[in-house]
Structure 1
Amino acid sequence: MRQVIIPQQLADLPRELPSGNIVALSGQTMGTTWSVRYINLPGLPKVAVASAIETALDQVVQQMSTWLQGSVINQFNHAEPGTVLPVPWEFSAVLSKALAVASQTDGCFDPTVGTLVDLWGFGPQQGRELPPAPESVEAALLDSGWKKLQFDPVRSELKQSGRLTLDFSGIAKGFGVDQVAAALRQSGLQHYLVEVGGEFYGYGVKPDGQPWWVALERTPDAAMLDEYIVAAHGLGLATSGDYRRYFEHEGRHYAHTINPATGWPVAEAPVSVSVLASSCMEADAFATALTVMGLERGLAFARTHELAALFTVHAQDELVQRASPRLQEMLQ
């Protein structure tokens, strides 16, 4: 069965339809792929749009990729204790949002879990086949904790207070989507759909008046579940799933989302959590946080904070879906 999600801001669409053609572009970034569809404008070459997109994405990688030696995030991670590092405004914006979500979620989202991510083999040094020793996890926990960060957002300065290791993998891709959308707007485009690694931001409509329809991601074994499609106008969409990066050992599934409170991959995590928000960066961060919380706590949080979220979870021997009240309000 298909469920249709219509956000409130769809009523704000201009009455005059765009008259150009749909142009499609694609490429690779952040270890995944990107794609953009937009309604072209006279005198705006496709090569110029592609260049603006790639510049925006390359900037995110240069600042926030732990895989890139010399990135801003790695400069901080490898800095000597006491080092004060000036950071670009983009990095500052992402860290500010990460810390805000960390505070809202009581640390279920934590940008300082880099040491734990590396320990479990989900960082640049990949390839674990068995869990690390519990004492190693406890030691890594001591080098984590968002409240230990010394960050001055006014000066855009970050101090390495010890051995903290930042990891933006739960928020940077969403920010990249938002940055591409911003680059398209600066180019004069008013109707577009941006996707990076399965995360989206859309604005406007197509020439036939149809919105940019996006399907909420489903797991490979969830074909029998309802399909949720959203009219993506002024809306970011991100999905966190335990089926993307994981390893199995002695019958247990260890997925890439780390519980910052325990230092271990989230136990009995939802199969996936999709979140709709005004920015893809926010959707990205909250999808990770709700995954850490789990179904009941996550639904309660989504209800209190009016988050539009869809949980897919195991219930006995089958998969079930649970939508937050805010998402249910959008269903048509």
Structure 2
Amino acid sequence: MPTPPIKAGALRLILPEAAPEAALPPANAPVLRLSGTSMGTYWSVSLIAPQGPAPLALRRGIVAILDRVVAVMSHWDRTSDLCRYNHSPRGWVPVDPSLCAVVSAALRLSVDSGGAYDPAIGGLVDAWGFGPPGPVATPPTAGQVHALLSGPRWMEIQVEAERLWQPGGLRLDLSSIAKGYAVDCVSRYLETCGVVSHLVDIGGELRGWGIKQDATPWWVDLAPVKGRDGRSGGLPTRIALHGWAVATSGDCHRFMRGPDGRALSHSLDPRTGYPVTDDLAAVTVLHADCMMADALATALMVLGPERGPQWAAARGIMALFVCRPPMGIAEIMTPALAALAEEG
């Protein structure tokens, strides 16, 4: 993808260390671009495959992978394994092993974050108008939120190799982790096909591998964030992706209006049942796996601008927090990310 020009002297570069060795593609190998729609958003792949399959075969393989993720993990497709689980009575529900793997990863993060991350908030997501039923005219009442929080929770889910325990009435929503998982699946598929260099983007969750013909990595620019005054702020940031993934969670694109006209974020705090405040505009996470970058960005949005950076720093997580003080924009980088940053 083309990189927009940034004024010299006003740019932060993130250069990950310990990147795997990359082969230099032949100078005459073209950069191919494939794209489409899936999982309610766009997907885009840029790749260099001097000895790999034909572009049409690669595209078919990518589409097949994305269709499979939708068939297993979509909470919009009522025939998916996830929806079948959500509508099953109490008991063990046979599901695809990939769903068990993703739910297991989600539950580990739920434990570690003290419930700030929760894959079992399908009911809350629908109540606030961000789920398959669509937007709601008014936010849920305190009584409705309390009733949802009083139902079965993530602690009651059990996972085995090819089945999940449904405690009865629990509804999974993996929208905060499934896209990242799909990015990883597509990236691994391209590697097995002999694609020496590629950048996978599904709805803004990205993973890059390899370098281009000029020996440069796949560069990704973070989207600017607006403060309370409507103006963009923060230092433009460009990340080199080779063997790394990046995901961002924020409130810029998905929100609803409350009775007072304020924007209510689609990021819900599963501990309270309410949207997170707009004090934190966005969190970007750099990680080896896009699935974890995706989920961690959501967890850190919920943990907020004070607890989030502390929690991430204690675990060596590479994260950038973009906060909204009364005026302008404030940024917080965890030590692990700051160690990779070069500003100039």
Q: Is 2:246 the partner of 1:240?
A: no
Q: Is the contact between residue 217 and residue 239 of structure 1 (CA under 8 Å) also seen in structure 2?
A: no
Once residues 60 and 43 of structure 1 are traced to their aligned partners in structure 2, the CA distance between those partners, rounded to angstroms, is: 24
* 1:158 equivalent in structure 2: 164
Q: Is 2:329 the partner of 1:297?
A: no
Once residues 114 and 68 of structure 1 are traced to their aligned partners in structure 2, the CA distance between those partners, rounded to angstroms, is: 14
* Cα-to-partner distance string for 1:64-95 (whole Å, 9 max, x where unaligned): 1111111000000000122x112212111111
**Identical-residue share of aligned pairs (%):** 38
Specify which of 183, 188, 192 is matched with residue 194 of structure 2.
188
* 1:177 equivalent in structure 2: 183
* Cα-to-partner distance string for 1:244-282 (whole Å, 9 max, x where unaligned): 211112133211111111111113451100000110000
Once residues 21 and 319 of structure 1 are traced to their aligned partners in structure 2, the CA distance between those partners, rounded to angstroms, is: 40
Q: Cα gap change, 1:43/1:319 in structure 2, threshold over 3 Å: closer, same or farther?
A: closer
What residue identity is the alignment partner of 1:17?
A: L
Give TM-score scaled by structure 1 length: 0.95
Higher mean alpha-carbon deviation, 312-321 vs 201-210, is at 312-321
* 2:4 equivalent in structure 1: none
* 1:288 equivalent in structure 2: 298
Once residues 51 and 277 of structure 2 are traced to their aligned partners in structure 1, the CA distance between those partners, rounded to angstroms, is: 53
Q: Cα gap change, 1:161/1:2 in structure 2, threshold over 3 Å: closer, same or farther?
A: same
Q: Is 2:20 the partner of 1:27?
A: no
Secondary structure at 1:207 match in 2: coil
**Unmatched segments (≥5 aa) in structure 1:** none
Q: Segments of 4+ in structure 1 off by > 3 A? A: 220-224
Specify which of 27, 50, 60 is matched with residue 69 of structure 2.
60
Higher mean alpha-carbon deviation, 244-253 vs 309-318, is at 244-253
* 1:210 equivalent in structure 2: 216
Q: Is the contact between residue 25 and residue 36 of structure 1 (CA under 8 Å) also seen in structure 2?
A: yes
Q: Is 2:170 the partner of 1:128?
A: no
Secondary structure at 1:238 match in 2: strand
* 1:107 equivalent in structure 2: 115
What residue identity is the alignment partner of 1:156?
A: E
* 2:273 equivalent in structure 1: 263
**Unmatched segments (≥5 aa) in structure 2:** 1-9
- Shift of residue 8 of structure 1? 0.7
* Cα-to-partner distance string for 1:201-252 (whole Å, 9 max, x where unaligned): 0011001101000112323656442111111011110000112211112133
* 2:282 equivalent in structure 1: 272
Once residues 193 and 279 of structure 2 are traced to their aligned partners in structure 1, the CA distance between those partners, rounded to angstroms, is: 41
Once residues 182 and 98 of structure 2 are traced to their aligned partners in structure 1, the CA distance between those partners, rounded to angstroms, is: 10
Q: Is the contact between residue 242 and residue 269 of structure 1 (CA under 8 Å) also seen in structure 2?
A: no
Once residues 144 and 166 of structure 1 are traced to their aligned partners in structure 2, the CA distance between those partners, rounded to angstroms, is: 11
Q: Is 2:24 the partner of 1:17?
A: yes
Once residues 116 and 150 of structure 1 are traced to their aligned partners in structure 2, the CA distance between those partners, rounded to angstroms, is: 21
* Cα-to-partner distance string for 1:99-129 (whole Å, 9 max, x where unaligned): 1111111111100011111111110011123
Q: Is the contact between residue 152 and residue 168 of structure 2 (CA under 8 Å) also seen in structure 1?
A: no
What residue identity is the alignment partner of 1:284?
A: D
* Cα-to-partner distance string for 1:30-52 (whole Å, 9 max, x where unaligned): 11101001112236210011011
Once residues 209 and 297 of structure 1 are traced to their aligned partners in structure 2, the CA distance between those partners, rounded to angstroms, is: 39
Once residues 144 and 240 of structure 1 are traced to their aligned partners in structure 2, the CA distance between those partners, rounded to angstroms, is: 26
Q: Is 2:153 the partner of 1:145?
A: yes
* 2:174 equivalent in structure 1: 168
Secondary structure at 2:148 match in 1: helix
What residue identity is the alignment partner of 1:174?
A: G
Aligned residues: 327
